[in-house]
Amino acid sequence: MSVFEAAMMICFGASWPLAIFKTYKSKNPAGKSLAFMFLLLIGYASGIVHKFISGVDFVLALYILNFCMVATDLSLTYYYLRKNRTI
């Protein structure tokens, strides 16, 4: 277990609830990068796999939480991009 890894995950994850709220509230994902969010998902998935291979600790929960938040924001972004194109 690394305290520094946990601190990094907490800092990275702190911004996602606000990003999800802003996307949901504005219903306009302008400025969001789908490619960037996909890369984040790949990075978090890699961290999850690494935790299972090298040893499970509480940081795994942070990886899973961050993965879920990015997936939620990505889903909202994709949904509103498609919805706004049809209007």
Cα distance between residue 66 and residue 26, in whole Å: 22
Query: What pLDDT digit, counting tens, does each position of 44-68 carry?
Result: 999 999 999 999 999 999 999 999 9
pTM for the whole thing?
A: 0.89
Determine the angle formed by the axes of helices 16-26 and 59-85, rounding to 10 degrees: 20
Query: What pLDDT digit, counting tens, does each position of 33-42 carry?
Result: 999 999 999 9
CA distances in angstroms from 59 to 28, 71, 75, listed in the order given: 33, 18, 24
| Segments making up each domain of the chain, as ranges | 32-87
